[in-house]
Structure 1
Amino acid sequence: MPFNKNMVKISFAAFRRSVLYFLVGVIIFTGGYFLGVRGFKVQVENAKKINIVREIPPDKSNVDFSLFWKVWDTLSTRYFDKSKINQKNMVYGAISGMVSALGDPYTVFLPPNDNKVVNEDLSGSFEGIGIEIGFRGNQLTVVSPLPDSPAQKAGIKAGDFIVGIKDEAKKVDRGTVGISLPDAVKIIRGSAGTKVTLMLTRDESEKPIVITVERAKLNVPSVTLEYVGNVAHLRIIKFGGSTLAEWDKKVSEIYMNKNTKGIVLDLRNNPGGYLEGAVDIAGEFLKTGSVGVIEEDSNGVKTEFKTQRIGKLTHVPLVVLVNGGSASASEILAGALKDNKRAKVVGEKTFGKGSIQEPMDFSGGSGIHLTIARWLTPAGVWLDEKGLTPDIEIKFDENSKIDNQLEEAIKLLPNS
């Protein structure tokens, strides 16, 4: 259904890749994705005959697949437009439907092309508008725009509800009720120089906002460092494949600067990424062996992930900055530093993404992102849908010429 300005606002969570996969939520920088059940092998031969070879039979399953095959045969023999009958796509669609029946927006099946894109999603170089999307409740939402991205420059903000998407070149004009993350990503992402229009609503206004954004080629670093006087403003934009290498370089610069009196660790609008990266970076500030995060599986078994590195910055005064665009791995890092009483947290309540997804690849290039556990802060708090509340809450002043949140964080540091 096309979107229109009379569409009502519905409601607002994230999704992003990690080894214990966090916020797999599709970074629209370039991201995207999509029966064989686990233990089934799907083979397509010449797009005519399909063989499903069961490798591991369901345990005491009473499922009757006769209905599935009746519908399959009916579509294959009676559907009017035979050009639309593609058996491989039908299999992928059936698998996708089975996975989506769980009602978990973070558990998804991805055909080969989509899986390839997601696996490249954390590389740092991409084309798109530069936002990460997810769901809060059932409403497609902007988790965060990337710094200096086309999306941010166009005025898109963390927490915006996406109620409509339009791309004339793709001949798409639709609302987002019932849309999946993979489908939303396919529409929003695109080549540099092309445009996409988003209809947005915000908490403070029921009136829709229509913004057209031109996609661009972006190369976003994971870590940046600037000095404000003798305070290191250390920002982590995302937890990607190159983050730890970039982090080590910036930390070495701080370590060598004997005039550094304190650090502001800025996690604002950081949508997450690799869990291991978050715990490793926490170890830069905590004693070796400190609890960074707790994983709880479906049986209630809890596993502590502890810091292992010998931190270079364990005694440097520290304040952490967060906001509503801080999600997943960035919430883990902030929670670890807060619960271990290593730093004060300043800013606004975080996004609240508390589940863990594990990526699994199958033969042929397809894959699945599967929710396997939830994560808790070292104090045992589950932040899902609630977020982390800062020690000192301060709303960002968009009308100010200075960064009032950063200024407040610096004031908390001794001798700054």
Structure 2
Amino acid sequence: MGIDARPYREGSLAVVAPIAGSPAEKMGVKAGDLILHIKDEKKQVDLDTMGMTLPTAVTHIRGDRGTGVILTIYREGVDKSFEVTITRDEIIVPSVELKFVEKDGKKIAYLELHKFGGRTDKEWTIKVGEIVAARPVGVILDLRNNPGGYLDGAVFVASEFLNSGVVVKQEGRSSSETFSVDRKGNLTTVPLVVLVNKGSASASEITAGALQDNKRAKIVGEQSFGKGTVQEVQDLSDGSSLHVTVAKWILPSGRWIGKEGITPDVKVEDDPETKDIDEQLDKAIETILN
């Protein structure tokens, strides 16, 4: 269906980000939405999500291709909750997409990273090669609605733009580990802007925060999600599961991602009324050119 979700502090389920091009995104599900209720007549599911564990919610939301599920959504700024009917489908999304934007006779590379997955490194390296060959005046790295993924993917991507320095520290109760730039990047000097929003989480926040703290990039967009913990899942005897926080992600400046997420250098809110205009991308282009 194409939703990355996390348990929310009030006990419901929060959408971190809909996957680009997924059935959920096409039906208007947005980052930050709260899923209050799941209904699927075929599976005989009709349940509130309050207190529901994430694995249980995933089991209820997933289903056969072509079947439907009804989600009751609460969205900040909307007076009443509303229902969204989503038809399940197979989801195949590339980790990385690249295009070039022409503005005032200048070429800018626009690099969208949808997830930090197992194929990210290979796809990323191919796209970076295309950027190097094109010699653009700047790069825009779009991490909006990227829910994260592997830590080593975040270190790999950040290392593309940094000559040296700390990327992130994993701080546990009794030990800590520092992850630093681990390779020679190909884009260490080109002007860089990173786009984030409230759907940017986990590895996305590590990458954006490392580039911001090392003064390598300007961050444009909205406050990110704030997923700054490492959790282990413990299965309980009654069939439920317990998520236990075992460590925190600390950025080079000492900031904890989980406290408030990444604060943009240039704040630009997405205007839902202007679907054909991407104000955040426009500001990123303007920032590169200036």
**TM (normalized to structure 1)?**
0.65
How far 1:385 moved relative to its partner? 4.6
Please say if 1:339 is aligned against 2:218.
no
How many corresponding residue pairs?
278
Aligned pair in 2 of structure 1 residues 181, 359: CA closer, same or farther (>3 Å)? closer
**Residue 281 (structure 1) aligns with:** 157
* Match among 404, 407, 411 for residue 279 of structure 2: 404
**Residue 379 (structure 1) aligns with:** 253
1:111-190 matches, cutoff 5 A? 129-137=1-9, 138-190=11-63
How far 1:352 moved relative to its partner? 0.3
1:155-234 matches, cutoff 5 A? 155-229=28-102, 230-234=107-111
Distance in 1, matches of 2:233 and 2:34, equals 27
1:196-248 deviations in whole A, cap 9, x for unaligned? Answer: 00001111124111010000111111010011111111011000110111100
Aligned pair in 2 of structure 1 residues 284, 221: CA closer, same or farther (>3 Å)? same
SS at match of 1:249: helix
Please say if 1:262 is aligned against 2:138.
yes
Which runs of 4 or more aligned residues in structure 1 lie more than 4 Å from their structure 2 counterparts after TM superposition?
A: 367-370
1:60-94 deviations in whole A, cap 9, x for unaligned? Answer: xxxxxxxxxxxxxxxxxxxxxxxxxxxxxxxxxxx
Look up the equivalent residue of 1:239 and give its one-letter code.
F
Distance in 1, matches of 2:83 and 2:185, equals 47
Q: CA contact under 8 A between 1:317 and 1:414: conserved in structure 2? A: no
1:286-338 deviations in whole A, cap 9, x for unaligned? Answer: 013x1000111112x43211011100000010000000000000000000000
Extract unaligned runs of 5+ from structure 2.
235-240
* Match among 188, 191, 201 for residue 314 of structure 1: 188
Distance in 2, matches of 1:184 and 1:175, equals 10
Aligned pair in 2 of structure 1 residues 369, 141: CA closer, same or farther (>3 Å)? closer
Distance in 2, matches of 1:221 and 1:343, equals 24
SS at match of 2:80: strand
1:126-149 deviations in whole A, cap 9, x for unaligned? Answer: xxx101111220221111101111
SS at match of 1:245: helix
Distance in 2, matches of 1:385 and 1:145, equals 23
SS at match of 2:161: coil
Look up the equivalent residue of 1:268 and give its one-letter code.
R
**Residue 390 (structure 1) aligns with:** 264
Extract unaligned runs of 5+ from structure 1.
1-128, 361-366
**Residue 82 (structure 1) aligns with:** none
**Residue 129 (structure 2) aligns with:** 252
1:294-333 matches, cutoff 5 A? 294-299=169-174, 301-333=175-207
How far 1:359 moved relative to its partner? 8.0
- Identity in percent: 50
Distance in 2, matches of 1:315 and 1:333, equals 17
Aligned pair in 2 of structure 1 residues 359, 283: CA closer, same or farther (>3 Å)? farther
**Residue 89 (structure 1) aligns with:** none
Distance in 2, matches of 1:155 and 1:303, equals 40
1:7-86 matches, cutoff 5 A? none
How far 1:342 moved relative to its partner? 0.1
Look up the equivalent residue of 1:250 and give its one-letter code.
K
How far 1:369 moved relative to its partner? 7.5
How far 1:370 moved relative to its partner? 5.8
**What is the aligned-residue RMSD (CA, Å)?**
1.7
Distance in 2, matches of 1:359 and 1:262, equals 41
**TM (normalized to structure 2)?**
0.92
Larger Rg: 1
Please say if 1:272 is aligned against 2:145.
no
Look up the equivalent residue of 1:190 and give its one-letter code.
G
Distance in 1, matches of 2:188 and 2:289, equals 15
How far 1:368 moved relative to its partner? 9.6
Distance in 2, matches of 1:325 and 1:392, equals 17
Deviates more, 1:278-287 or 1:393-402: 393-402
